[in-house]
Chains A and B, each alone.
Chain A
Amino acid sequence: MRRNKIQILFVSLIFLSVVSIAQNFTVSGTVKDNSNGESMISAMVYTSDGNYGAATNVYGFYSLQLPKGKYTLLFNYSGYEIVTKEIDLSSDLKLDVELAPQAQEVDVVVVTGKKNTDNIKKVEMSTIEIDVKAIEKIPALLGEPDVVKSVQLTPGVSTVGEGATGFNVRGGSIDQNLILLDEAPVFNSSHLFGFFSVFNPDAVKNVKLIKGGIPSEYGGRLSSVLDIRMKEGNKKKLAGEGGIGALFSRFAIEAPIVKDKASFVVAGRRSYADVLAKPFLDENFSDAQFYFYDLTAKVNYEINDKNNVFVSGYFGRDVFQQGFGFNWGNQTATVRWNRIFNDKLFGNFTTYFSNYDFEIGVGDEEDGGFNLKGNNETYSFKPSFNYYLNSKNTLSFGGQSILYDFSPGNSTVFLPDGPLNNNRDNRVGLENAIYIGNEQKIKKSIILQYGLRFSSYHYLAPSKEYLYGDRPDITSSRVSLGVNEYSTGQSIKDYYNLEPRFSAKFDVDSVSSVKLSYNRMTQYIHLLSNTAAATPLDIYAPSSNNIKPQLADQVAIGYFRNFGKDLDWEASVEAYYKILQNQIGYIPTADLLSNNDYEADLYFGEGRAYGTELLLKRTTGKLTGWLSLTLARTEIKVDEVNNGDFYKTRFDQPVNGNLVLNYEFNPRYELSANFAYNTGTPFTASSINYGIQGISVSHNPENLRNNSRVPDYHRLDLAFIIHGKEKNKKGEIRKWQGDWNFGLYNVYARKNTFTVYFQDEVNGETQAIRYSIIGTVIPSITYNFKF
């Protein structure tokens, strides 16, 4: 019944909006950067009176419906000269525009607001966009700019510590983030156990994190979407950029293949800590390898003014080897075809492949070695459309099919009689979704965005149906009742979910607005991890007859206000409440790595997360930056744990704050600082111990989880940036631009705790030992360049 009401409401809204609009003409086209031909995402197009406006989509396309008449159209993007076009509209008009970067970046925009009232006027909330240029200014570990680390400095985003893979959004686990690189999901966003993310900033064009009010085109994860778009490649001229740092170097090159028609970008990084460390290592470690690398590449071809093709890929790997081997990595490949069907209908067809795999081995085949491999493969096809119905309604619709083929871990032991294999069964799932959404301007001060996503999931053979009975006791695995096998392709279990999405914006006055949103999200694949933080060995499990899809309902409300002489101060406060269903917990002795019956080791319960996020930022002027403060709680309730009461999750951080500042002394010298603080993350501690045969045994009689916290985390980082002279002695712009970045990470050498473990002796001393992955100040020098 509830679903029917939602559907009726949705259809009524669209119908009303269609009938109420008079005949208009359409101005449409693309907005590009004239220095390199890159299409511009979210560039604003609006009439000088401010009555009509639109933003470009992720491919730089816009479509604006206007009544017949004369207009002055403005095209605007932060850091670029505004372009003005006078038009006399009496028929549909195609208008492609190129914007020129401002000659000198006097006012550096740190977190892109595009225009000083964009954050107020747009319907989207709970959204963070970070300019890649700004990422390079934020002080970073070893001076290496990092996309994900920068996102972690914004409200509602956290991590359980240095050395933790991934990030947490509004109290969600790391697998609840849909991380998209050119629309292909990336399953492990971390290099080197989370010290760096897998995204090479030199190849990234746009970074957008959506934490709430998630549009209907996105689905499959509960907590957030991190949508990363790669550069297309310079269509005008050969260009390059890179950096030489203490831990790794990076280089990107881009150039036209056919000027203004086709181009490519290739970007690579490789760490060389092993090379640098070699002289200091014992000879037994002389053949040690520990490094990571990644390669990102993209080619695009403009077939004609209506058709564009993009092919992009990512290949990255972390390798640790010395008498044993441990490596993991992601690979993605995306092919996209854009088609402008007409001035109102824009279509995009994406197909991608994504794979994450790991391998760990000790010894070799001759001496009784052991190895373990696992991987997650994903294949998908995704058509999506924007239909610019009229000046008040922009429809989005489309669908997606995703095939998951997860190989959770195959181990081999090399025995004298031959290899002994212990293969875990592959798990296969098919996820389908169709969606429709509309952004509707009720009037200038009120915008609604609403949509529906209908998703289905099918757990398919050759997966097997594992049947389990009850647990002998609450801390034990469920008892196996057998396994059913089906013919390949047959569906073992089906799930269907309707996911309504809604956002609204109401202007309070010209400088402030109130926004609210609701979204339901469904997640059909789940990362299983019961270690202190997720590790590269953690496996994804698809939903099955035993694991139901996770569901989340989130409501959020926010107040947005800009102030200051040029409205250069932006402030927002948002509150959210999230209810999560089918959350996964683990029995105390869960075996997730080498066990076909891992589903018997899982608990299921409900979760809740709520909090308030404050963001205050200054986008222009000599002093820029932001202050973010998050007050939040995240809890889970599982019948078998903690007497069935809610308990804190591992990523519960009641207070999380970041201060990011950049001061530009002059165009050549800048000083950046950031200070991060958060409440210590919870962990499970034993409260009791006793001796058996002289051996100390720890005990937690109340079976509490996450009943203690590590000490609070705080850290100050500084960076001093010296830009090379922009012009030569003749006053000409230098072709080669070089910057020096001097950094100090963890300035006051805080020993932030990653985890706590215990040394105990019966009738002897018991100590809690904190393990700090970074317990000292880390200086760095990086040289960044572009040409």
Chain B
Amino acid sequence: MKKYLFGIFTIWALTSCEDPISVEVDEGTIQLSVDAFLTNEPDKQQKIILKETKQFFDNVSQNPFVADSVYVKDDLNNLYLFEDLSSNGEYVWSETDSSLVNLNRTYYLTIKAGDIIYSSETTSERVATIDSINWEYAPPVFGGNGTYGTEAVIKDLIGATDYSWLRVKVNGEYNLNKGSQIVVTDNSNVGLSTDGEFFIPPAAYYFPGADDDSLGLGDKVTYELWSITEETSLFWAEVINQNVDGALGAIFATPTANVRTNIYSSGTKLSEQAVGWFSTSMVNTATQEIFVKEGEQLSFPLN
């Protein structure tokens, strides 16, 4: 809706403007941030990133968080140790020839730092497969070159409610905009779910936004479908909700709300609490290079 509003208020675009300013905000309390998204992908290094949160307007990298020990256990009592080999807060699991995450297991994360113990728990759920990726050329709307849009063909698994995080990579690069993250319940990302059916638009549809590069011939689009828990889907929904468009979208924007965390601290002080998330996923991936379909008429060549 915000996009539509932006278009229609062209007349106000003549008078309105956006520019950077400095605002005064009291410094917030620094805490541990946990980025622990583990998968079943054997060829991908499994890591848990522990950093200190940073002041919003400090244009610096997050400082590494030094933990005494970081490990994950599963409900079969398998132990997975993570170590910060590069002293950069990225704690890695050294084994690379097997999958850490297995289906239908419960995983327990423990981080020890001095007297404080941070802990979390999650499960690994089943994931659907990506059948194929379709693409279609869309002519220019506001001038420019037009772009391709893509759609993955995915059928939800029959039975229990499935939650998934659908990530899109273009030429190997994730889209990291909050507003571009897609969380799917069964087959829909807009609350119209039906069990066991094909994903419905706009869930598996990727169309470059105003801030994104257009998709052209030769571009490779990768869909990654991550199984997540219901709790993790709510976490991502809250991250998406933090996205605020500029322009008149701002009129309809609600204040930025904190997102939840599933990292629990034994500490009692605010500075001893943690933010972030622990999740274990089964992942399916498909990649498609865009080429001209037989009989396809472009208004002019792309790329």
Give the Cβ gap from B7 to chain A, nearest Cβ, in Å.
Answer: 7
Taking a contact as CB atoms under 8 Å apart, the answer to whether B22 and A324 are in contact is no
Which residues of chain B from 1 to 56 have any CB-CB distance to chain A below 8 Å in the complex?
1, 4-5, 7-12, 15-31, 33, 35, 37, 49, 51, 53-56
Give the Cβ gap from A261 to chain B, nearest Cβ, in Å.
Answer: 46
Taking a contact as CB atoms under 8 Å apart, the answer to whether B18 and A687 are in contact is no
On chain B, the residues within 8 Å of A57 by CB distance are none
Q: Is A9 an interface residue (CB 8 A)?
A: no
Taking a contact as CB atoms under 8 Å apart, the answer to whether B254 and A530 are in contact is yes
Interface hit among B67-75, B110-118, B245-253: B245-253
Given contacts A685-B23, A753-B21, contact A324 B239 (CB under 8 A): no
Taking a contact as CB atoms under 8 Å apart, the answer to whether B29 and A475 are in contact is no
Which residues of chain A from 762 to 781 have any CB-CB distance to chain B below 8 Å in the complex?
762-776, 778
Residue of B nearest to A765 (CB): B59
How extensive is the interface on chain B, given as a class?
Answer: 35 or more
Task: State the CA gap A360–B4 with chains docked (Å).
Answer: 12
Given contacts A683-B255, A687-B55, contact A755 B250 (CB under 8 A): yes
Give the Cβ gap from A271 to chain B, nearest Cβ, in Å.
Answer: 10
Give the Cβ gap from B68 to chain A, nearest Cβ, in Å.
Answer: 21
Interface hit among B76-84, B124-132, B269-277: B269-277
Given contacts A531-B252, A708-B25, contact A697 B239 (CB under 8 A): yes
Give the Cβ gap from B56 to chain A, nearest Cβ, in Å.
Answer: 5
Residue of B nearest to A703 (CB): B258
Taking a contact as CB atoms under 8 Å apart, the answer to whether A770 and B21 are in contact is yes
Taking a contact as CB atoms under 8 Å apart, the answer to whether A285 and B7 are in contact is yes
Given contacts A475-B258, A531-B252, A703-B258, contact A756 B276 (CB under 8 A): no
Q: Is A689 an interface residue (CB 8 A)?
A: yes
Which of A284, A323, A530, A768 is the most central at the interface, judged by chain B CB atoms within 10 Å of its CB? A768
On chain B, the residues within 8 Å of A694 by CB distance are 174, 176
Residue of A nearest to B177 (CB): A695
Given contacts A324-B4, A773-B16, contact A688 B55 (CB under 8 A): yes
Q: Is A537 an interface residue (CB 8 A)?
A: yes
Taking a contact as CB atoms under 8 Å apart, the answer to whether B15 and A754 are in contact is no
Give the Cβ gap from B286 to chain A, nearest Cβ, in Å.
Answer: 20
Give the Cβ gap from A692 to chain B, nearest Cβ, in Å.
Answer: 5
Given contacts A687-B25, A699-B53, A774-B16, contact A282 B242 (CB under 8 A): no
Taking a contact as CB atoms under 8 Å apart, the answer to whether B181 and A707 are in contact is no
On chain B, the residues within 8 Å of A687 by CB distance are 25-28, 55-56
Which residues of chain A from 718 to 771 have any CB-CB distance to chain B below 8 Å in the complex?
751, 753-758, 760-771
Which residues of chain A from 367 to 398 have any CB-CB distance to chain B below 8 Å in the complex?
368
On chain B, the residues within 8 Å of A505 by CB distance are none
Q: Is A273 an interface residue (CB 8 A)?
A: yes
Task: State the CA gap A689–B259 with chains docked (Å).
Answer: 11
Q: Is A535 an interface residue (CB 8 A)?
A: yes
On chain B, the residues within 8 Å of A702 by CB distance are 28-29, 270
Q: Is A532 an interface residue (CB 8 A)?
A: yes
Q: Is B219 an interface residue (CB 8 A)?
A: no
Task: State the CA gap A765–B1 with chains docked (Å).
Answer: 28
Taking a contact as CB atoms under 8 Å apart, the answer to whether B37 and A693 are in contact is yes
On chain B, the residues within 8 Å of A705 by CB distance are 255
Taking a contact as CB atoms under 8 Å apart, the answer to whether B255 and A530 are in contact is yes
Residue of A nearest to B255 (CB): A684
Give the Cβ gap from A416 to chain B, nearest Cβ, in Å.
Answer: 10
Give the Cβ gap from B272 to chain A, nearest Cβ, in Å.
Answer: 11
Give the Cβ gap from A696 to chain B, nearest Cβ, in Å.
Answer: 7
On chain B, the residues within 8 Å of A778 by CB distance are 15
Give the Cβ gap from B199 to chain A, nearest Cβ, in Å.
Answer: 14
Taking a contact as CB atoms under 8 Å apart, the answer to whether B246 and A695 are in contact is no
Q: Is B241 an interface residue (CB 8 A)?
A: yes
Q: Is B256 an interface residue (CB 8 A)?
A: yes
On chain B, the residues within 8 Å of A532 by CB distance are 250-251, 253-255
Given contacts A322-B8, A589-B241, contact A282 B56 (CB under 8 A): no
Give the Cβ gap from B134 to chain A, nearest Cβ, in Å.
Answer: 18
Which residues of chain A from 308 to 351 have any CB-CB distance to chain B below 8 Å in the complex?
320-324, 326
Give the Cβ gap from B174 to chain A, nearest Cβ, in Å.
Answer: 6
Residue of B nearest to A417 (CB): B194
Q: Is B121 an interface residue (CB 8 A)?
A: no
The proximity string for A residues 158-195 relative to B, scoring 1 for CB distances below 8 Å and 0 otherwise, is: 00000100000000000000000000000000000100
On chain B, the residues within 8 Å of A290 by CB distance are 8-9, 11
Give the Cβ gap from B166 to chain A, nearest Cβ, in Å.
Answer: 13
Give the Cβ gap from B115 to chain A, nearest Cβ, in Å.
Answer: 20
Task: State the CA gap A324–B57 with chains docked (Å).
Answer: 37
Q: Is A82 an interface residue (CB 8 A)?
A: no
Q: Is B238 an interface residue (CB 8 A)?
A: yes
Q: Is B160 an interface residue (CB 8 A)?
A: no
The proximity string for A residues 618-632 relative to B, scoring 1 for CB distances below 8 Å and 0 otherwise, is: 000000000000000
On chain B, the residues within 8 Å of A321 by CB distance are 8
On chain A, the residues within 8 Å of B18 by CB distance are 769-772
Residue of A nearest to B241 (CB): A589
Task: State the CA gap A491–B251 with chains docked (Å).
Answer: 37
Given contacts A685-B23, A703-B258, A756-B21, contact A775 B244 (CB under 8 A): no
Give the Cβ gap from A286 to chain B, nearest Cβ, in Å.
Answer: 12
Task: State the CA gap A384–B205 with chains docked (Å).
Answer: 62
Count of chain A residues with a beta carbon within 8 Å of a chain B beta carbon: 87
Which of B10, B22, B37, B181 is the most central at the interface, judged by chain A CB atoms within 10 Å of its CB? B10
Taking a contact as CB atoms under 8 Å apart, the answer to whether A590 and B15 are in contact is no
Taking a contact as CB atoms under 8 Å apart, the answer to whether B33 and A163 are in contact is no
Taking a contact as CB atoms under 8 Å apart, the answer to whether A766 and B33 are in contact is no
Residue of B nearest to A141 (CB): B15
Which residues of chain B from 153 to 199 have any CB-CB distance to chain A below 8 Å in the complex?
174, 176-178, 181, 192
Taking a contact as CB atoms under 8 Å apart, the answer to whether A762 and B62 are in contact is yes
Task: State the CA gap A763–B61 with chains docked (Å).
Answer: 4
Taking a contact as CB atoms under 8 Å apart, the answer to whether A589 and B1 are in contact is no
Task: State the CA gap A588–B244 with chains docked (Å).
Answer: 15
Taking a contact as CB atoms under 8 Å apart, the answer to whether A698 and B56 are in contact is yes
Taking a contact as CB atoms under 8 Å apart, the answer to whether B57 and A754 are in contact is no
Residue of A nearest to B33 (CB): A690
Residue of A nearest to B181 (CB): A695
Taking a contact as CB atoms under 8 Å apart, the answer to whether A193 and B251 are in contact is yes
Given contacts A695-B239, A697-B259, contact A770 B28 (CB under 8 A): no
Give the Cβ gap from A215 to chain B, nearest Cβ, in Å.
Answer: 36
Taking a contact as CB atoms under 8 Å apart, the answer to whether A698 and B242 are in contact is yes
Taking a contact as CB atoms under 8 Å apart, the answer to whether B10 and A285 are in contact is yes
Task: State the CA gap A589–B16 with chains docked (Å).
Answer: 28
Q: Is A95 an interface residue (CB 8 A)?
A: no
Q: Is A362 an interface residue (CB 8 A)?
A: yes
Q: Is A469 an interface residue (CB 8 A)?
A: no
Which of B19, B22, B53, B254 is close to A751, meaning CB atoms less than 8 Å apart? B19
Task: State the CA gap A694–B19 with chains docked (Å).
Answer: 25
Residue of B nearest to A165 (CB): B251
Q: Is A24 an interface residue (CB 8 A)?
A: no
Task: State the CA gap A709–B25 with chains docked (Å).
Answer: 9
On chain A, the residues within 8 Å of B254 by CB distance are 530-532, 590
Given contacts A322-B8, A768-B23, A769-B18, contact A535 B258 (CB under 8 A): no
On chain A, the residues within 8 Å of B174 by CB distance are 693-694
On chain B, the residues within 8 Å of A776 by CB distance are 15, 17
Task: State the CA gap A755–B5 with chains docked (Å).
Answer: 17
On chain A, the residues within 8 Å of B192 by CB distance are 413, 415, 420
Give the Cβ gap from B23 to chain A, nearest Cβ, in Å.
Answer: 5
Instruction: Pick 11 A–B contacts, CB within 8 A, sort by A.
Output: A282-B142, A320-B5, A532-B255, A686-B56, A688-B29, A688-B30, A691-B33, A697-B239, A699-B259, A758-B244, A775-B15
Nearest 4 CB-CB pairs, A to B?
A687-B28, A588-B257, A775-B17, A690-B33
Which residues of B line the A interface, CB within 8 A?
Answer: 1, 4-5, 7-12, 15-31, 33, 35, 37, 49, 51, 53-62, 141-143, 174, 176-178, 181, 192, 201, 238-239, 241-242, 244-248, 250-259, 270, 273, 275-277
**Beyond A535-B252, A708-B25, A772-B19, 15 extra complex contacts between A and B, CB < 8 Å:** A320-B8, A323-B4, A324-B4, A530-B255, A532-B254, A689-B56, A696-B176, A696-B178, A701-B258, A702-B28, A753-B21, A766-B59, A769-B19, A775-B16, A778-B15
